[in-house]
C-alpha cells in the first residue's frame, strides 16, 4: 500500500488522476471500477477536462460501479446511475451500454447481484476507484462484512444513512434503507486500486485502514493485503498518519 498525502481536495484529485491516467493511456479498453459520493467528483472533473483536451478516449472502455440504492428509481437525482451520468458519463465518450451500475430495482435482487458478480468476474477491473466511509466501509460493505463476500444486498447502518442524508434534503427518512454493493472479494479482484479520502471525518477510518489490524471491523483494512493500492488523502484525512 502506497500512501500519498496531498494538501487539499484539489491536489488529492489531481494526484489520483495522474496515477489513473497511466492505466487509461496504456489500456484503451480498460475496465474501470467506479465509485459515487463527494470524494471522487474532483477526480471525475480531471478525467473530463483531460478527455476534452483530447488526451484520453473512453470509447472502448467498460465501467463497473460499486453500488446502488435499493428501490430508488433510476431517474431519481440521487440514484447512483443518475450521479454517474451527471458527474462523468454524460461528459466523456464512454458508450452508455458499456457502463454498469447494480440494479437496485430488480424483482429478484439476489439473482441480479449474482449476475453482477459474474459480470465483474468476466471483466476484471483494471483500476478501481474507492472512497471510504467514516466507519471504514468500502462500497457499501459495512463493518462486519465477510472478506469473502460477493455482490449482495445490505442494510445500511444508521451512521451511513445519516452521512448520506445531505443528499436527501437532510432528511434521513428519505435515504433508502438498503443498497446493493459489490462484495469485498469482488473489489479485491481489481488489478489496481486508488482509494481517495478527504476531510477530518475520514481521519480515523484512514488510520484504521493503513495502520490498524486487518479486520472485518474496518473493511478497508483488507487493502493492506492487496498488491497494488494507492491511497491519496488530503491533509485532514491523513491527520493520524504523521
Residues in touch with ligand F6R (CB under 6 A): 35-39, 66-67, 131-133, 137-140
Nearer to ligand F6R, 51 or 137 (CB): 137
**In the complex, least distance from residue 55 CB atom to ligand F6R, rounded to whole angstroms:** 25
Annotated catalytic residue 164: no
Identify the DSSP state of 124: -
**In the complex, least distance from residue 222 CB atom to ligand F6R, rounded to whole angstroms:** 14
**In the complex, least distance from residue 132 CB atom to ligand F6R, rounded to whole angstroms:** 6
* CA-based nearest residue to 18, from 215, 154, 187, 196: 196
| Residue tagged active-site, from 65, 68, 137, 141 | 137
First to last CA, the chain: 16
Annotated catalytic residue 135: yes
Annotated catalytic residue 67: yes
Q: In sequence order, what E strands does the chain have?
A: 2-5, 31-34, 62-65, 67-69, 99-100, 127-130, 152-155, 178-181, 193-197, 229-233
The closest residue (CB) to ligand F6R is 131
Nearer to ligand F6R, 57 or 236 (CB): 236
**In the complex, least distance from residue 79 CB atom to ligand F6R, rounded to whole angstroms:** 12
Nine-digit cell string for 99: 457502463
Annotated catalytic residue 90: no
Nearer to ligand F6R, 184 or 192 (CB): 184
Evaluate whether 209 touches 130 at the Cβ level (below 8 Å).
no
* CA-based nearest residue to 101, from 115, 81, 76: 81
CA 167 centroid distance within chain:
17
| Residue tagged active-site, from 87, 98, 135, 164 | 135
Nearer to ligand F6R, 36 or 63 (CB): 36
Could you list the active site residues?
67, 135, 137, 142
Amino acid at each position: 500500500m502506497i500512501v500519498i498525502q496531498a494538501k487539499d481536495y484539489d491536489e488529492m484529485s489531481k494526484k489520483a488522476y495522474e496515477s489513473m491516467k497511466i492505466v487509461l493511456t496504456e489500456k484503451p479498453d480498460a475496465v474501470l471500477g467506479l465509485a459515487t459520493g463527494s470524494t471522487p467528483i474532483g477526480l471525475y472533473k480531471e478525467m473530463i477536462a483531460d478527455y476534452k483536451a483530447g488526451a484520453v478516449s473512453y470509447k472502448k472502455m467498460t465501467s463497473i460501479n460499486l453500488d446502488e440504492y435499493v428501490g430508488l428509481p433510476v431517474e431519481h437525482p440521487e440514484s447512483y446511475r443518475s450521479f454517474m451520468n451527471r458527474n462523468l458519463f454524460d461528459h466523456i465518450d464512454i458508450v452508455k451500454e458499456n457502463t454498469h451500475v447494480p440494479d437496485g430495482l430488480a424483482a429478484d435482487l439476489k439473482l441480479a447481484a449474482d449476475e453482477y458478480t459474474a459480470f465483474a468476474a468476466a471483466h476484471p477491473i483494471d483500476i478501481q476507484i474507492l472512497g471510504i466511509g467514516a466507519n471504514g466501509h468500502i462500497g457499501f460493505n459495512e463493518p462486519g462484512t465477510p472478506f469473502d463476500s460477493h455482490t449482495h444486498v445490505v442494510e445500511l447502518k444508521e451512521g451511513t444513512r445519516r452521512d448520506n442524508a445531505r443528499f436527501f434534503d437532510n432528511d434521513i427518512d428519505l435515504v433508502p434503507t438498503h443498497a446493493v454493493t459489490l462484495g469485498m472479494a469482488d473489489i479485491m479482484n481489481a488489478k489496481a486500486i486508488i482509494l481517495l479520502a478527504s476531510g477530518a471525518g475520514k481521519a480515523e477510518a484512514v488510520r484504521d485502514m493503513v495502520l490498524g489490524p486487518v479486520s472485518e471491523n474496518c473493511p478497508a483494512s483488507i487493502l493492506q493485503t492487496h498488491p497494488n493500492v494507492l491511497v491519496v488523502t488530503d491533509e485532514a484525512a491523513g491527520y493520524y498518519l504523521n
